[in-house]
Amino acid sequence: MTAYFLSLWRRWCKAKPFFIRHLDCGSCNGCDLELNALASPPYNIGIDGIEFTPAPRHAEALAVTGPLVIGLKNSAIYTLEAMPGPDRRIFLVGDCSVNGKIPEVDNCPGVVPDGVIGLFNQRIPNLRFVPIPGCPPSPDDILEKIISERIIMA
Amino acid sequence: MTAKKSNRRFIDFPKIPENSDKVFTGYDGISCYVIREIPEFRSFINDLIKQDGYYILGAWGSNETERAVPAYKLYVLFSHESADNFVLTEFFHKGADASEINKLYDSFKDISKRFPVFIPYLYEFERYFASELPQHNRNKHDNEYGLTVGPIHAGIIEAGVFLFKTDGERILKVKIRSGCKYRGMERAFENLPIAKGISVAGRVSGDSSCAHAIAWSMAVEQLLGIDVSDEAMNLRAILAEIERIYAHINDTAFLLKDCAWDRPASFLFEYRNALMNVVKDVMGSRFPWRIIHPGGVTLYPDYENLKKLADEISNTVEKCRKIFTKTWFHNRLRTRTKGLAVVRKGRAQWFGADGIIARSCNLITRDFRYIHPFGPYTQFRENFFPDFPPCKEYCIARKIEGLEQQDVRYYNGGTLSRFSIRCNEVIHSDQIIQTIIDEQIKGHKKPERRMISDDQIREQAITVPPYHWSVGAIEGWRGPVVYWLMKGEEDHIFRVKIRDPSISNWHIMAAALDEEKSHEDREDTDFKDIILADFPVINKSFNLSYAGNDL
């Protein structure tokens, strides 16, 4: 029975691939490493139809790492606006992007106060944010959140 | 730290130039000179580099107008090429006048023209830097360059701007505009209690977080005069080596993937991931920097657990070694990477290369594990580095019988030599870990938990007079990570300077991609033109940190 539902799920996944674009907003590159690990063969995300795409034009979701820094503010807006609408999903990977600040570190002059959520909400209303806390979250955590998001979509 | 003094190798410090002071610091191996005139400053640096065998680790400015003698200061830190000596020079104009900072900045620019100093954005120099922030702007086009890439790249990598000047496919020149990821980590340290600095240091650069945490802890311990137990030092060395194994396996895998060779890359990814999960079981996290704390370690695994980890590491490295040996001799890798983006030894010396980039072009003594050792590295230096250069003994090629040494030209500074030095260091790190666990930890009783609490650190910090400074240095997997820490009133931090190895190495990468500068290399039979499709391979072979550079 499980095998039957699994095969249905896989067929659905093949029919509806899910493309994610990574966006660095000033992370310490710990979360980027874990996203890289997720994209590597041991996790085999291709079987669930998940793929990291190089271009935001093809992306259904953004995976944001890092709090927002001044130097990448414009780039983040351009990337968001380059995504096709109307239902854009934003995965906030790591504590930095979830809270809009580096955990346990205050008074960073380069970090924008409101963070990614504040900036994106200003530009486009009704975005769906999916927080993935952890410093850094393990690939299993990230994968779990992405899969549950896919189930909600279905 | 004091117990192992006898094993460390110091040489005499240079003489004091005229009209300047030598400040007694009280720490072994560090000497501080205060110099007041620009020509003297210049000639002193010149003598240090040309005669005494020092090289520049970093230079930074600091606004110290709040102190009793208000001044803007410029510090330059040197390390000796082969002995365990540091030299810090301090140069300042008295007075809190804003015009002083301009004079200082001019002298700074003067130094950076003559010597390899590339650390322009610091405290008071930040205002020069802020106007040059490479903001991504749609309406502004830089027509001088054919192709502007970034700050957001295609792929899961960090943000940085590359300006390519190309002729068709061929790359003529690359300008690297870093600074996009500026977060102000050095500023975040200021006015923080010393005990809380560790949480900032661990988040400077994620892939070498252990090295940053250890370097910070060592700076704090030196400042406060804390003795650290041997067990804690052993565990720190093991963590640093594990981080090196992680990073090098990842980089070699990506290099193979970029050379259209996914199969061995997939195996390497899998081995690395399995190793990380075992580390998570033993240490509690896949990136275990939180174990490190000033004064010791917060968690000490049992011998059984550590032995389990050591066995897993030796298994992983053995499997990786098989893949390295097969791929290294295969033409698919060689034709792509041999003689590509060669860094010449003289050029590397000029730019102050360090870490694996320096070692890949035969500047083999630039290894802080050998020059500035700590803990187990002081005790086992002869075991770890039986015949210097360190990697000679563990060359993969030597593992294969019947191969003549002359066939193998290793460290000529090309992309292939950067690949092979990574392979060698993985094997070398495994041997270091096994030695530490077999010789040091085996048979010892479970160590008492010698952790120093935050309150104890605070009490100790109050006894140290204000504006004392210290230096903590360690060899991370990219190269030396150096922290300079100056204490303020009570237990607060006044200034911190972080020196990540990528700071100097970015300039070496730009020089290696410059066609004009590599003109003389064309006589070399291995020389290759660099095309745009080669750039990812070269970038990955250097694999420098954007976050650690921009800070």
Rg (CA), chain B: 23
Which residues does chain B have within 8 Å of residue A106's beta carbon, measured at their own beta carbons?
Answer: 188
pLDDT(B215) > 90: yes
Please state, in angstroms and rounded to a whole number, the distance separating the CA atoms of residues A67 and A64. 9
B71-80 vs B86-94, strand pairing mode? antiparallel
Q: Is the ipTM of this structure higher than 0.95? A: no
For residues B191 and B133, the model is more confident at B191
Q: Residue B388 — pLDDT band, cuts 50, 70, 90?
A: very low
Residue A90 confidence (pLDDT):
92
For residues B429 and B331, the model is more confident at B429
Q: Residue B337 — pLDDT band, cuts 50, 70, 90?
A: confident
Joined tokens for residue B508: 């070496």
Q: Residue B214 — pLDDT band, cuts 50, 70, 90?
A: very high
Maximum mean pLDDT: which of A6-10, B404-408, B444-448 = A6-10
A147 lies within 8 A of chain B by CB: no
Residue B26 confidence (pLDDT):
61
List all residues 6 or more positions away from B278 whose beta carbon is below 8 Å from its beta carbon: B308, B309, B312
Please provide residue A20's backbone torsions phi and psi, each rounded to the nearest 5 degrees. Answer: -120, 140
pLDDT, mean of residues B280-300: 87
Specify the 3-state DSSP secondary structure of B505: helix
The model's pLDDT over A38-52, given as tens digits with 9 standing for 90+, comes to: 988 889 888 888 889
CB atoms within 10 A of CB B135: 16
Q: Residue A64 — pLDDT band, cuts 50, 70, 90?
A: very high
**CA of B549: which chain A residue's CA is closest?**
A28
**Please, which residues 53-72 of chain A have a Cβ atom closer than 8 Å to chain B?**
54-55, 66-67, 69-72
Torsion sign (Cα): B115, B117, B118, B120: negative
The model's pLDDT over B97-119, given as tens digits with 9 standing for 90+, comes to: 656 666 666 666 666 555 544 44
Residue A32 confidence (pLDDT):
92
pLDDT, mean of residues A8-13: 82
For residues B378 and A144, the model is more confident at A144
Q: Residue B443 — pLDDT band, cuts 50, 70, 90?
A: low
A95 lies within 8 A of chain B by CB: no
Between the alpha carbon of residue B430 and those of residues B244, B255, B285, B318, B351, the distances in Å are: 10, 21, 20, 9, 31
Q: Taking CB atoms and an 8 Å limit, are B276 and A37 in contact across chains?
A: yes
Please state, in angstroms and rounded to a whole number, the distance separating the CA atoms of residues B193 and B186. 14
Rounded to the nearest angstrom, the minimum Cα separation between A95 and chain B is 12
Residue B405 confidence (pLDDT):
43
Torsion of CA B3, B5, B7, B8, to 10 degrees: 150
First to last CA, chain A: 20
Please state, in angstroms and rounded to a whole number, the distance separating the CA atoms of residues A109 and B164. 30
> For testing the chain B interface, which of A20, A22, A23, A29 should be mutated: the one with the most B CBs within 10 Å?
A29
The model's pLDDT over B67-99, given as tens digits with 9 standing for 90+, comes to: 777 777 778 888 888 778 888 888 776 655 656
CB atoms within 10 A of CB B134: 17
pLDDT, mean of residues B514-533: 70
Question: Taking the CA of residue B200 as centre, how many other CA atoms within 13 Å lie in the half-sphere pointing to its CB?
Answer: 26
Please state, in angstroms and rounded to a whole number, the distance separating the CA atoms of residues B156 and A57. 16
Residue B450 confidence (pLDDT):
63
Q: Taking CB atoms and an 8 Å limit, are A78 and B136 in contact across chains?
A: yes
Rounded to the nearest angstrom, the minimum Cα separation between A44 and chain B is 11
Q: What's the mean pLDDT when you consider all of chain B? A: 77
| Burial class, B293, CB count within 10 angstroms (exposed 0-12 / middle 13-18 / buried 19+) | buried
3-state secondary structure B308-331: HHHHHHHHHHHHHHHHHHHHHCCH
Q: Residue B18 — pLDDT band, cuts 50, 70, 90?
A: low
Alpha-carbon B542 to chain mean position: 12
Mean pLDDT lowest for which of A16-20, B351-355, B482-486? B351-355
Q: Residue B273 — pLDDT band, cuts 50, 70, 90?
A: very high
Specify the 3-state DSSP secondary structure of A115: helix
Q: Residue B6 — pLDDT band, cuts 50, 70, 90?
A: very low
**CA of A109: which chain B residue's CA is closest?**
B184
Alpha-carbon B526 to chain mean position: 29
pLDDT, mean of residues B460-483: 88
Rounded to the nearest angstrom, the minimum Cα separation between B538 and chain A is 19
Cβ B308 vs Cβ B345: under 8 Å: no
The model's pLDDT over B238-268, given as tens digits with 9 standing for 90+, comes to: 999 999 999 999 999 999 998 888 899 999 9
pLDDT, mean of residues B357-384: 78
pLDDT(B134) > 70: no
Residue B108 confidence (pLDDT):
63
Cβ B441 vs Cβ B303: under 8 Å: yes
B296-297 vs B292-293, strand pairing mode? antiparallel
pLDDT over 70 percentage in chain B: 77
For residues B513 and B14, the model is more confident at B513
Please state, in angstroms and rounded to a whole number, the distance separating the CA atoms of residues B43 and B64. 25
Q: Taking CB atoms and an 8 Å limit, are A72 and B151 in contact across chains?
A: yes
A137 lies within 8 A of chain B by CB: no
Residue B495 confidence (pLDDT):
85
Q: Taking CB atoms and an 8 Å limit, are B206 and A79 in contact across chains?
A: no
Q: Is the pTM of this model over 0.90?
A: no
pLDDT(B32) > 50: yes
Q: Taking CB atoms and an 8 Å limit, are B183 and A111 in contact across chains?
A: yes
pLDDT(B212) > 90: yes
